[in-house]
């Protein structure tokens, strides 16, 4: 009756494990976890799968390289405008004509450059550059 003996042995093992687990829960002793041991064929399958994953990652990285921008370059980004840029333009215009500098500032809605807010600096530099280049005369009407 080998089958009955196997059943009895397995039943004893289950009861022993159940007892051990119940004791573990009560005493909360340390559990030792061992690294699993694999048969050679399982180890070989793991290595093969690792190699497949590496090959897939390499193939994916080649597929998903970022595309290069072929659109024509946009205007180069200019450096942020600082108050010193505004000041230099006002001085340059003032050297040519104090009245022109006063009229240019008046067109910007201020009596002097220090009254300009930082948000107005880029617009002021653009306008003052045109005045300094002689493209615009602030003393005349801008229709």
More confident residue, 67 or 122: 122
Mean pLDDT for the chain overall: 80
For the chain, the domains span 83-132
**pLDDT category, 140, cuts 50, 70, 90?**
confident
Distance of CA 103 to the CA centre of its chain: 46
CA distance 64 to 44: 30
More confident residue, 57 or 31: 57
Q: Check residue 95 and give its pLDDT.
A: 93
Q: Check residue 128 and give its pLDDT.
A: 93
Q: Summarize the confidence of residues 12-25 as an average pLDDT.
A: 76
Task: Report whether pLDDT(116) > 70.
Answer: yes
DSSP, collapsed to helix, strand or coil, labels residue 10 as: helix
CA distance 110 to 137: 17
Task: Report whether pLDDT(119) > 80.
Answer: yes
Tokens 């009254």 -> residue: 115
CA distance 124 to 106: 11
Collect all residues with Cβ–Cβ distance below 8 Å to 138 and sequence separation of at least 6.
100, 103, 104, 106, 107, 131
Contact call for residues 121 and 86 (beta carbons, < 8 A): yes
């Amino acid at each position: 009756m080998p089958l009955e003996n196997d059943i009895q042995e397995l039943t004893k093992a289950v009861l022993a494990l159940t007892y051990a687990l119940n004791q573990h829960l009560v005493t909360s002793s340390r559990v030792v976890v061992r690294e699993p041991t694999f048969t050679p064929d399982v180890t070989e399958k793991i290595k093969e799968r690792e190699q497949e994953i590496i090959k897939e990652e390499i193939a994916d990285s080649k597929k998903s390289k970022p595309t290069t921008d072929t659109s024509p370059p946009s205007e180069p980004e200019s450096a942020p405008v600082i108050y010193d840029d505004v000041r230099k333009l006002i001085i340059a215009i003032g050297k040519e004509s104090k009245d022109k500098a006063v009229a240019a500032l008046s067109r910007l809605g201020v009596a002097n450059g220090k009254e300009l807010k930082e948000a107005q600096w880029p617009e002021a530099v653009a306008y003052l550059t045109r005045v300094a280049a002689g493209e615009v005369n602030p003393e005349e009407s801008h229709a």
